[in-house]
Amino acid sequence: MQLFHTLRELRAFLDGCAGNRIGFVPTMGNLHAGHCQLVSQAKNRTDIVVVSIFVNPLQFGANEDFGSYPRTLQADVEQLRAVGADVVFAPGVDEVYPDFNGQDLMQQVIVQPSSLADILCGASRPGHFAGVATVVTKLFHMVKPDLAVFGKKDYQQLMVIRSLVRQLNFGIEILGMDTMREPSGLAMSSRNGYLTAQQKNQAAQLYAQLQGMRTALQHGRRDYIALCQGSISVLKQQGWQVDYVEIRSQLDLSEPSEDETELVILAAAKLGSTRLIDNCEVNL
């Protein structure tokens, strides 16, 4: 397995891989079993798998955890070697954003995503998805993959990236993989490391609420607003600070009609100071 820190090294290697199908898994590091599953899926479908590890400053808000986000490169590299990744690309900020000085975003070319980025998490984290769209565009340009694999845990991000690829004519196949979970049902996430042992047990309540809503929908409930408000109320009673619980269309995250058959329930809430997101697809 190769470890590269510069675009020049990466391009020199990939130029020698002409004729091979390239798979790509972008990450921010601090990897867990869910990331490894994405790499394995890419490995099954392509000849060469590139994994990026880059904590992207443009997708963090002013009061978010960019500075404290875990950087565990050595441990990440060992995990990726074990699951058969071919290349780890771990660039510095200056390599990805040559003119970035940490504050003046006016010097950056920003990729503005579609209106999908303005709802749900985008409404409470202004600029977040523009940061995601910008770094993903840059990484796609650097790696030039045939296939890119993303987890469904951040469902809105996956939808934003699908729209980006379609509208910018990248010609890259985007594969979305189901969320891996702890035995409790808690979605695996790098941010779970912020939780205390007690909070980690409590965090399973979020997915339990989504499962309860899915069951209600499968049994004929269509009062979407009441269902969401009921779950929000329960979560607040359990000590959560709820950003949103919403039922949306899988197709485009629009508000669904009562006869919609492909739905997704999405939620974001804080437990202590840790913001967690989760979702649950419902096919009726």
Q: Are residues 100 and 173 in the same domain?
A: yes
pLDDT in tens, 247-282: 999 999 999 999 999 999 999 999 999 999 999 999
Number of folded domains that form the chain: 2
- Where residue 105 sits, what CATH number does that domain have? 3.40.50.620
171 and 194, same domain (yes or no): no
Judgement on whether residues 222 and 156 belong to the same structural domain of the protein: no
* pLDDT tens-digit map of 103-131: 565 578 999 999 999 999 999 999 999 99
Whether the pLDDT of residue 68 is over 90: the answer is no
- Is residue 183 one of the residues assigned to a domain? no
Exposed / middle / buried, residue 88 (Cβ in 10 Å: 0-12, 13-18, 19+): buried
Q: Which residues are catalytic?
A: 35
Burial 248-274 (b: 16+ CB within 10 A, else e): bebeebeebeeebeebbbbbbbebeeb
What three-state secondary structure class fits 175? strand
For the chain, what is the mean pLDDT?
95
In a domain, 185, yes or no: no
Q: Is the pLDDT of residue 64 over 90?
A: no
Determine, yes or no, domain membership for 182: no
Same domain, 19 and 124: yes
On whether both 20 and 75 belong to a single domain, the answer is yes
What percentage of residues in the chain have a pLDDT greater than 70? 98
Domain final residue, candidates 177, 201, 225: 177
Alpha helices in the chain (DSSP H): 7-15, 33-45, 73-82, 93-96, 121-124, 128-143, 155-167, 197-218, 224-237
- At 107 the pLDDT is 75
**52 part of a folded domain:** yes
Same domain, 125 and 201: no
Task: Reduce the DSSP state of residue 191 to 3 states and report it.
Answer: helix
Q: In terms of domains, do 198 and 157 share one?
A: no
Pair 168, 194 in one domain: no
Mean pLDDT, rounded, for 168-172:
97
Residues 245 and 173 in one domain: no
| CATH code for position 197 | 3.30.1300.10
Question: Which of 146, 177, 208 is where one domain is finished?
Answer: 177
What string of DSSP letters covers 216-263? HHHTT---HHHHHHHHHHHHHHTT-EEEEEEEEETTTSPPPPTT--EE
The answer to whether residues 134 and 194 belong to one domain is no
Q: Which of 258, 11, 40 is nearest to 144 (CA)?
A: 11
**How do residues 208-221 score in pLDDT, each as one tens digit?**
999 999 999 999 99
User: Of the residues 119, 145, 177, which one is the last residue of a structural domain?
Assistant: 177
Domain assignment of residue 225, yes or no: yes
Q: Are residues 166 and 207 in the same domain?
A: no
Q: Give the range of the structural domain holding residue 49, as residue numbers without chain letter.
A: 2-177
Confidence (pLDDT) at 63: 80
